[in-house]
Chain A
């Protein structure tokens, strides 16, 4: 095979693995949108907050230490212990569930039956609040995150492809893990929604709010449930992205990478989020590969949006979205 084909193939493979990372973020959006029709802009900040909390618990940081020190003149920073990942992850999940509960109590409950744009705005307000809260609780420094997921070039893939083509492909081990974790996560979600009582209730609510209410499903419980699940998905996304770059403010910006995935895949479809992520990942890597010499690089930020936009012109509801039926 010629070099160009090999290089393009390598770029496409890397696109697939990055696409899975995008899908992880997009999944959280889909879950909440499906269950409550809310476009949750705070999903990215939730990932940041979850990752910050995880690191904070792992390293035994005192929450709000900066605030306490400023107010009381003390000088405390950490409890002086470290927790293994196996303990700190469940604790963080607990924090995310608590957060879902509070969001439902304090925000969503009061906004029932509002227009989608109002709910969307509320989640932007929530994003601001969490951003400030995360910084005040855990501080604004970069924090290394290590839960034991390996990273670096996969030698197996490298050797295998070298023997096959005479050129070793580069694949990050971290993204192979992401692939596995995404598979587990999606399977778990499917099993949960198909075979448990709560899962069925969840699907009923997603189908028709009023019908679900009329057969006695508690809408509020379902909301807490979906926000908790979205919080857990945010934690997973936060761990994967945070392992790569350390946990810092920019982590919240990955939400912007997930939006084109959403419109491509459709707001309401879990398979859509996965397929959309893969398409965007491959598309942007290949576009960069072929167009870089002509128009220069750094096209990832807008290419995904352009791809989604062009796609929408032909299929306004996204790849797997529900067909939009309009009545007068």
Chain B
């Protein structure tokens, strides 16, 4: 009996090699529910899965074509990412969401070669916003450089438009991800006249004594954080320990989940983080998720993560993918679209307030329109603040725009270097 299963598994994997005729819309998930970052990966995967399940259950898929979801576990490991990509590649995947900056970098040349679109929401390669160079890569609605700029713009609004003479510290995960905002912040520091001090924390960030002693000595006005995994909770704990005012401590969206603040308890009250999507369960779509997914026992996870910050991000990523598929169907004029048609759909994606309201997600996203030249979306974000008593996030600002002129310029430089290295002629087709 065991052997038949093995044989079936082999057959299944061999079948992968042959491109099947699409009778459904295949949305593969590269998720990580295990390993050191599992606490962040689980809610995202649940949200992504649940939203797509909802579309299947409520609407019968997208444009009448059912959705097929496959999940592949990467454990946030690049080699497993390759394995996962290879296992879905021949199976007509409409959009790859690798959920890891490392895997994104690896897949950029591959998806371009294989003509499969890739979407990285709030992570990945920032300069991929330049669609002239990165034809198959999309990173709307916001990237890390936007995040840095939005945080500074928020601080500007808090200080009557001037940060002259202020001191801002960046606590960052000592990896490619954590170093992303440094250049943007350095330029902004020069322009706006604030003092900028980056402080690195090495992986995994279980022990941050020196860093926070240094922050205590430096007495900065604000602390920004690009953290990940256990580093977030420890940093917030240490900040609470040195009695740093939590309102002046701002994390990027990956440092803004319940997992990061709950272990700290009451000390985390007032901690602020960026978000590029709405939060909480006060959206009509959550009733539908409850009715069509959870109550029917189809929820991907235990169901206790619904409405958490990272779950919302999963829902958001799924919504963008589904909307792009719908756009692609309209453009192509038929339901069973190919990855190439999906790419066109993503490039013509238009998220409007009306459409969001129709979807049951009013105000969940900043309205934006993707174009060939701009694969990066609006670059806007909001700020959310943690209330330790009610154990919930609440929004404290409306959408704040980033300095897209500066970021566009930086992205152009970086993508030009990439284009030169890889002999890509920048063009819009």
Contact = CB atoms under 8 A, between A and B. Distances in A.
User: Do A and B have CB atoms closer than 8 angstroms in the complex?
Assistant: yes
A153 B242 CA distance: 6
A284 B39 contact: no
Contact of A135 (B34, B202, B263): B34
Interface centre among A14, A21, A249, A253, by most chain B C-beta atoms within 10 angstroms, is A249
Interface in A238-293: 241, 244-246, 248-251, 253-254, 257, 284-285, 288-289, 292
A248 B210 contact: no
Given A7-B217, A142-B39, A245 B263 contact: yes
A201 B241 CA distance: 45
A151 B241 contact: yes
B266 to A, nearest CB: 10
B35 to A, nearest CB: 7
22 contacts: A7-B213, A11-B213, A18-B209, A75-B297, A140-B33, A142-B230, A142-B262, A144-B263, A146-B265, A245-B263, A248-B36, A249-B35, A249-B36, A249-B38, A250-B204, A250-B205, A250-B206, A250-B230, A292-B210, A297-B201, A297-B214, A300-B202
A209 interface: no
Interface of B: 33-36, 38-39, 42, 174, 199-207, 209-211, 213-214, 216-217, 229-230, 233-234, 237, 240-243, 259, 262-263, 265, 267, 297, 302-304
A296 interface: yes
A309 to B, nearest CB: 18
Contact of B209 (A73, A241, A246, A285): A285
B233 A245 contact: yes
A141 B39 contact: yes
B210 to A, nearest CB: 4
A245 B206 contact: yes
B39 A298 contact: no
B263 A288 contact: no
A234 to B, nearest CB: 15
Given A11-B210, A246-B230, A254-B206, A298 B201 contact: yes
B262 A246 contact: yes
A221 to B, nearest CB: 35
Contacts of A135: 34, 38
Given A140-B33, A254-B206, A297-B210, A170 B242 contact: yes
A14 B204 CA distance: 20
Nearest to B214: A292
B242 A297 contact: no
B200 A144 contact: no
A77 interface: yes
A170 B213 contact: yes
Contacts of B237: 151, 244-245
Nearest to B204: A250
B230 A248 contact: yes
A284 B329 CA distance: 59
B234 A245 contact: yes
A114 interface: no
Q: From DSSP, what is the main secondary structure of chain A's interface residues?
A: helix
Contacts of B206: 241, 244-245, 250-251, 253-254, 257
Interface in A99-155: 135, 140-146, 151-153
How many A residues touch the partner, as a band?
A: 35 or more
Contacts of B42: 140-141
Nearest to A140: B38
Given A151-B241, A298-B201, A250 B211 contact: no
A18 B302 CA distance: 37
Contacts of B213: 7, 10-11, 14, 170, 285, 289
A260 B36 CA distance: 22
A140 B213 CA distance: 31
B263 A298 contact: no
Contacts of B230: 142, 245-246, 248, 250-251
A85 to B, nearest CB: 15
A7 B213 CA distance: 9
Contacts of A18: 207, 209
A255 B204 CA distance: 12
Given A245-B263, A257-B207, 4 more contacts: A7-B213, A7-B217, A75-B302, A292-B210
A90 B304 CA distance: 30
A145 B38 CA distance: 18
A19 to B, nearest CB: 10
A89 B200 CA distance: 36
A75 B199 CA distance: 45
A131 B77 CA distance: 17
Nearest to B205: A250
Interface string A5-36: 00100110011001001000000000000000
A253 B214 contact: no
Given A10-B213, A142-B233, A172 B199 contact: no
A156 B211 CA distance: 22
Contacts of A15: 209
Given A144-B263, A153-B241, A14 B199 contact: no
A285 B202 CA distance: 14
Contacts of A170: 213, 216, 241-242
A281 to B, nearest CB: 9
Given A153-B241, A245-B263, A140 B34 contact: yes
B196 to A, nearest CB: 14
Nearest to A152: B241
A25 B350 CA distance: 54
A239 to B, nearest CB: 13
A296 B200 contact: yes
A253 B206 CA distance: 8
B229 A250 contact: yes
Contacts of A140: 33-34, 38-39, 42
A250 to B, nearest CB: 4
A131 to B, nearest CB: 9
Interface string A59-84: 00000001001000101010000000
Contacts of B38: 135, 140-141, 249
Contacts of B242: 153, 170
Nearest to A247: B263
A69 B304 CA distance: 14
B36 A250 contact: yes
Nearest to B236: A245
A282 to B, nearest CB: 11
A250 B207 CA distance: 11
Contacts of A250: 36, 204-206, 229-230
Contacts of B217: 7
Contact of A285 (B204, B210, B216): B210
Contacts of A257: 206-207
A249 B206 CA distance: 11
Interface centre among B35, B209, B259, B303, by most chain A C-beta atoms within 10 angstroms, is B209
A77 B299 CA distance: 15
Nearest to A18: B209
